[in-house]
Amino acid sequence: MSEPVEEQVLREVEWFPSTNITRILRHAGRSVPDAVGGGCLWMAARLCRLLRQRRPGIRLSHHDLGEPGSHTTTISDDGCERLLYEPSLFQVRPFSLTRFDADPGCCTSATFPRLDTHPMQLRFSRPEPGCLRMELLSPRGTLKRAYNYVFRAPVELNEDDPYGGLPFIEPQDHLYVYTLNPDFTKSVLMLNVRTRRFNVGRVRDKLYVDSEPGFDSRFEKVAARMHLTPQGLRDLMGAALEIHNAHHKI
């Protein structure tokens, strides 16, 4: 049995890297190839274009945390079911708000990496009218991050330029690139904005520092996923680092 169109589109978008460097570079007027990927806004724009192509007539809306440029989620409504999408968090399948509204006990959505027993999860609740709380939980159920979406009115998203007109990104500890692997594990590349040191590896596995054997081969795989040479990826992240640190005076 084939996957629903909405799940196929979600997975297609998730094959692009999730990264914060695109927003930084676009703010400085730099063009960035699609293969580099982007953050939640970039992924939301791509998701909407594909859904409109493959599900004509579907209604789409976006909701954020109440501040321009904050984490943003997308909701589709085909008249029968409302689905919520989180491609930048590598959701396994869209979350059914329709089912959740009918039964608040149906409140979780698995994310990759896919683990045999306890995957990472998104857990949803409604602490008050007009607000949807989403918690990212570790496989042991530990709260990693929480987001409180404002549902009073949808926000506009320029699908051709999702970062246009937004304030500069808030200070980051790391520049990062997350990629979904063919075996549905996740890899991460991080550049510390203060030490300027790289780490790379699979999520929930060993991370290799840039002076360690095993780093280069893993770095090359991330670069290849972005259609870049290793030096090209270093240059791109280095440029984003200089822009970020100059803006925030680091």
Q: Give the model confidence (pLDDT) of 202-224 as tens digits.
A: 988 899 999 999 999 999 999 99
Report the alpha-carbon distance of residue 207 to residue 204 in Å, rounded: 9
How far is it, in rounded angstroms, from Cα 22 to Cα 31? 9
- Which residue from 76, 125, 57 is spatially nearest to 84, judged by alpha carbons? 76
Say what the pLDDT of residue 119 is.
Answer: 79
Task: Using a cut of 0.85, tell me whether the model's pTM lies above it.
Answer: yes
pLDDT in tens, 31-53: 999 999 999 999 999 999 999 99
In whole angstroms, what separates CA 173 from the centre of its chain?
17
Domain limits, CATH 3.30.2140.20, in the chain: 5-150
Provide CATH code, domain 5-150: 3.30.2140.20
Place of tokens 């984003």: 240
**Mean pLDDT of all residues belonging to the chain:** 94
Residue 1, pLDDT score: 56
